[in-house]
């Protein structure tokens, strides 16, 4: 009991001198706080309740009939899906107990719902308790009312291509799955296995997901483009008891393979994405789950809206507070829809991993970045890491030009050459007429391995890396999208230096990097690939930039490839070109990567196939098909 409790209601005896004495005491006390004022105790009890609510539970709050009141509190707020922040803004002791004002703040993702609510307190023995009433959670709530927050997703921003042509926008899809409502457990599992077989998903894994789901759950097996589900397949699915087809829309590109690995996809947020979002993303949200869709999800997703309603046991819900959704902002890219579609078509029947990248040399804009079906979803086009083979001789040629050679300088091209006991030779179809003393230009045109290896000793440790940087290779650049620009480490042995000269050894590059090489030659300066016009990029400039005379020398040699060398199949289609074949793996004979790069007018292209016969035989026809298409 409070130490002042005994004085709260003093007995006054109105007799004789005592009456005057009491009047005197009363007058003295009238000018100060009454000794029985319990405001501090009232505030302390209210603050204890506020702390408990803020912690997400009412079990520690000093509520009347605590167990039942805590359960009632949980019932009221469960539909908000969040814990509040609660503080006490005012408290006072009154004749019949206490009163306090609680300030409630609910962070509901789209905004913060904030308001004040009055609470009554009563003294029980030595303690003060908060009198349970739904109105202490939010004004005007009555018994049986619940608070429910409903999120409304914002319209997702489109992904745009060149000239703001829409590439990714909401397109119709069908969600195929099993509804367990009305099915016995065995029936649901059987339905799952049958549906899985019809839509080509892992039957055992899907059946297990269905088994674990709730009794009335719809368990999605796959999402298909509406056009990918033909009438016969629909009929077979409709015949499965429990199978359910749900029509919906999702942000999709024009076709399933259209820059898929680069652009990415949209789907239900994973636990990892929810955790990394710092509260922005909630479980069940549709978000970017890969590629540019994930990297720029916050921009594309916009801001979800939210509505809070009072839901009574009977009658209609009442809207208490709302924030309208804010649509996402489009993501602009430089992709040319026609060229991208053409690139995907060219690679459509390639079995191994493959990639095609097309750039505009004058600006560096990425016009197409396609990864073939053999890449199995991997971004081979801009992030693949492979030995570039003889396409790297463009870099080696620049290093030799800087060391004093010219396109007409004579270099030896023997059938084989040996470096520290390792034998190097030319590719199988190398022309016999190209053996002997030849010009550097001819060595490039015919792609003579031994000629370049014979010149390796001319170069210093960093010469090859400096030449590579001048052509856009081996220097990391932050360009706002997944991009691998390759590596050109210093060789540790003479054998390694020889291998590096012909794009083997420790040299690596991506199709994007090699498209950058030929684009830089065509432009006469170092080109930096740009895919996202509105993303600010600060390029890392090469220490020794490409000069105009160097570019003219490279242009002359790459033109010879088309005129009389390994790229004659591109005559009439390309001005500059270079083929490349690179051995890889442990098999004997080794498997080979196939490369070809080319440029004409304001277009530069690189084509890569992970496993092929040679650059000219495997990559060449693909490149020709791309350039020859109307």
Mark 550-573 as b/e (b = at least 16 C-beta within 10 Å). bbebbbebbbbbbeebbbebbeeb
**What DSSP element (H or E) covers 273?**
helix 271-276
pLDDT at 35 over 70: no
Tell me how far apart the alpha carbons of residues 620 and 605 are, in angstroms, rounded to a whole number.
11
Q: Say how many residues make up the chain.
A: 630
Residue 73 corresponds to which tokens in the numbers above? Answer: 């509190």
Architecture of the structural domain at 337-628: 3-Layer(aba) Sandwich (3.40)
**CA-closest candidate to residue 522, choices 360, 339, 358:** 360
- Concatenated DSSP letters for 451-505? HHHHTGGGS-TTHHHHHHHHTT-SS----SS-----B-PPPSSHHHHHHHHTT-T
Residue 522 corresponds to which tokens in the numbers above? Answer: 């065509």
* CB count in 10 Å sphere of residue 367: 26
Please confirm whether the linkage preceding 589 is cis (ω < 30° from 0): yes
Q: For 122-174, what is each residue's pLDDT tens digit? A: 998 889 999 999 999 999 999 999 999 998 989 999 999 999 999 999 999 99
The residue-averaged pLDDT of 525-538 equals 95
**CA-closest candidate to residue 245, choices 183, 198, 184, 185:** 198
pLDDT at 11 over 60: no
Query: At residue 459, what are phi and psi to the nearest 5 degrees?
Result: -95, 145
**How is the chain split into domains, by residue range?**
1-35, 39-144, 159-303, 337-628
Q: What is the CA radius of gyration of the chain?
A: 37
Tell me how far apart the alpha carbons of residues 188 and 183 are, in angstroms, rounded to a whole number.
6
pLDDT at 34 over 70: no
Tell me how far apart the alpha carbons of residues 21 and 12 are, in angstroms, rounded to a whole number.
10
**What DSSP element (H or E) covers 530?**
none
Strand-strand pairing, 159-160 and 331-332: parallel
Q: For 467-494, what is each residue's pLDDT tens digit? A: 999 999 999 999 999 999 999 999 999 9
Residue 273 corresponds to which tokens in the numbers above? Answer: 């994405």
Residue 468 corresponds to which tokens in the numbers above? Answer: 């590579």
**What pLDDT does 306 receive?**
94
Helix, coil or strand: residue 434? helix
Query: At residue 575, what are phi and psi to the nearest 5 degrees?
Result: -95, -40
Mark 250-279 as b/e (b = at least 16 C-beta within 10 Å). bbbbbeebbbbbbbbbbbebeeebbeebee
Q: For 585-630, what is each residue's pLDDT tens digit? A: 989 889 999 999 999 999 999 999 999 999 999 999 999 999 998 7
Helix, coil or strand: residue 356? strand
Tell me how far apart the alpha carbons of residues 349 and 357 are, in angstroms, rounded to a whole number.
17
Q: For 301-310, what is each residue's pLDDT tens digit? A: 999 999 999 9
Kindly state the percentage of the chain with pLDDT values over 70: 94
Fold of 39-144: Nuclear Transport Factor 2; Chain: A, (3.10.450)
Query: At residue 208, what are phi and psi to the nearest 5 degrees?
Result: -65, -40
**What pLDDT does 36 receive?**
56
pLDDT at 27 over 90: no
**What pLDDT does 469 receive?**
98
* pTM of model > 0.85: no
How would you classify residue 252: left for phi > 0, otherwise alpha for psi between -120 and 50, otherwise beta?
A: beta
How sure is the predictor about 30, in pLDDT bands with cuts at 50, 70 and 90?
very low
How sure is the predictor about 280, in pLDDT bands with cuts at 50, 70 and 90?
confident
Q: For 50-91, what is each residue's pLDDT tens digit? A: 999 999 989 999 999 999 999 999 999 999 999 999 999 999
Residue 403 corresponds to which tokens in the numbers above? Answer: 């060391």
pLDDT at 21 over 50: no
Query: At residue 467, what are phi and psi to the nearest 5 degrees?
Result: -65, -40
The residue-averaged pLDDT of 220-247 equals 95
Tell me how far apart the alpha carbons of residues 311 and 317 are, in angstroms, rounded to a whole number.
5
**CA-closest candidate to residue 401, choices 447, 448, 470, 461:** 470
Q: For 390-448, what is each residue's pLDDT tens digit? A: 999 999 999 999 999 999 999 999 999 999 989 999 888 889 888 999 999 999 999 99
> Is the separation of the CB atoms in 153 and 304 below 8 Å?
yes
> Is the separation of the CB atoms in 578 and 594 below 8 Å?
no
Contacts of 515 by beta carbon, 8 Å cutoff, 6+ apart: 357, 358, 359, 529, 597, 604, 605, 606
Helix, coil or strand: residue 558? helix
What's the whole-number average pLDDT of the chain? 92
How sure is the predictor about 26, in pLDDT bands with cuts at 50, 70 and 90?
very low
Of the two residues 512 and 28, the one the predictor is more confident about is 512
**CA-closest candidate to residue 610, choices 344, 394, 373:** 373
**What DSSP element (H or E) covers 603?**
strand 603-609
Contacts of 25 by beta carbon, 8 Å cutoff, 6+ apart: none
Q: For 319-373, what is each residue's pLDDT tens digit? A: 999 999 999 999 999 999 999 999 999 999 999 999 999 999 999 999 999 999 9
Tell me how far apart the alpha carbons of residues 144 and 84 are, in angstroms, rounded to a whole number.
20
Helix, coil or strand: residue 311? strand
pLDDT at 110 over 70: yes
**What pLDDT does 7 receive?**
31
How sure is the predictor about 25, in pLDDT bands with cuts at 50, 70 and 90?
very low
Tell me how far apart the alpha carbons of residues 169 and 385 are, in angstroms, rounded to a whole number.
31
Alpha-carbon distances, residue 445 vs 250, 258, 504 (angstroms): 49, 34, 19
Helix, coil or strand: residue 402? helix
Kindly state the percentage of the chain with pLDDT values over 90: 87
DSSP secondary structure code for residue 562 in this structure: H
Architecture of the structural domain at 159-303: Alpha-Beta Complex (3.90)
pLDDT at 29 over 50: no
pLDDT at 22 over 70: no
């Amino acid at each position: 009991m409070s130490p002042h409790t005994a004085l709260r209601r003093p007995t006054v005896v109105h007799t004789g001198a005592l009456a005057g004495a009491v009047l005197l005491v009363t007058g003295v006390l009238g000018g100060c706080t009454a000794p029985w004022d319990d405001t501090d105790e009232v505030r302390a009890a209210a603050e204890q309740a506020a702390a408990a609510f803020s912690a997400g539970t009412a079990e520690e709050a000093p509520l009347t009939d605590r167990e039942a009141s805590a359960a009632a509190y949980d019932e009221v707020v469960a539909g908000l899906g969040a814990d509040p922040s609660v503080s006490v803004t005012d408290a006072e002791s009154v004749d019949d107990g206490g009163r306090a004002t609680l300030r409630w703040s609910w962070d509901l993702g789209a905004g913060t719902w904030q308001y004040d609510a009055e609470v009554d307190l009563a003294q029980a023995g030595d303690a003060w308790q908060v009198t349970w009433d739904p109105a202490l959670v939010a004004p005007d709530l009555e018994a049986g009312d619940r608070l429910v927050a409903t999120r409304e997703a914002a319209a997702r921003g489109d992904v745009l291509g060149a000239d703001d042509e829409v590439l990714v926008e909401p397109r119709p899809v069908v969600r195929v799955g099993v509804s367990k409502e009305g099915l016995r457990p065995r029936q649901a599992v059987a339905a799952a296995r049958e549906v899985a077989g019809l839509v080509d998903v892992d039957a055992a894994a899907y059946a297990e997901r269905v088994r674990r789901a709730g009794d009335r759950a719809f368990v999605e097996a796959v999402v298909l483009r509406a056009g990918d589900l033909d009438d016969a397949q629909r009929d077979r699915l409709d015949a499965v008891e429990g199978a359910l087809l749900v029509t919906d829309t999702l942000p999709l590109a024009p076709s399933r393979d259209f820059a898929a690995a680069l652009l990415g996809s949209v789907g239900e947020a994973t636990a990892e994405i929810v955790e990394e979002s710092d509260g922005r993303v909630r479980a069940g949200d549709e978000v970017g789950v890969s590629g540019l869709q994930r990297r720029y999800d916050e921009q594309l997703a916009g801001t979800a809206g939210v509505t809070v309603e009072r839901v009574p046991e009977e009658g209609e819900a009442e809207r208490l507070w709302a924030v309208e959704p804010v649509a996402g902002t489009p993501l602009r890219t430089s992709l040319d829809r026609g060229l991208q579609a053409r690139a995907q078509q060219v690679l459509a029947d390639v079995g191994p991993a493959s990639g095609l990248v097309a750039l505009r040399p004058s600006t560096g804009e990425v016009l197409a970045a396609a990864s073939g079906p053999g890449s199995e979803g991997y971004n081979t086009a801009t992030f693949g890491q492979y030995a570039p083979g003889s396409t790297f001789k463009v870099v080696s040629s620049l290093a030799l030009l800087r060391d004093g050679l010219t396109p007409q300088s004579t270099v030896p091209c023997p059938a084989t050459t040996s470096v520290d006991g390792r034998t190097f030779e030319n590719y199988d179809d190398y022309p016999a007429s190209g053996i002997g003393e030849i010009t550097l230009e001819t060595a490039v045109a015919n792609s003579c391995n031994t000629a370049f290896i014979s010149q390796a000793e001319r170069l210093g440790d960093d010469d090859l890396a400096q030449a590579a940087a001048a052509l856009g290779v081996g220097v990391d650049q932050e360009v706002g999208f997944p991009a691998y620009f390759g590596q050109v480490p210093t060789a540790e042995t003479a054998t390694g230096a020889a291998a590096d000269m012909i794009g083997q050894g420790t040299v690596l590059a991506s199709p994007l990097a090699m498209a950058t090489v030929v684009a830089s030659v065509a432009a006469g300066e170092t080109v930096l690939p740009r895919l996202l016009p509105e993303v600010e990029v600060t390029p890392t400039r090469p220490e020794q930039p490409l000069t105009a005379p160097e570019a003219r020398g490279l242009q002359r040699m790459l033109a010879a490839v088309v005129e009389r060398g390994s790229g004659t199949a591109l005559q009439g289609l390309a001005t500059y070109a270079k083929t490349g074949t690179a051995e890889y793996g442990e098999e004997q004979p080794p498997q080979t990567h196939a490369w070809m790069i080319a440029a004409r007018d304001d277009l530069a292209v690189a084509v890569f196939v992970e496993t092929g016969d040679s650059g000219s035989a495997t990559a060449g026809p693909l490149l020709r098909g791309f350039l020859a298409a109307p």
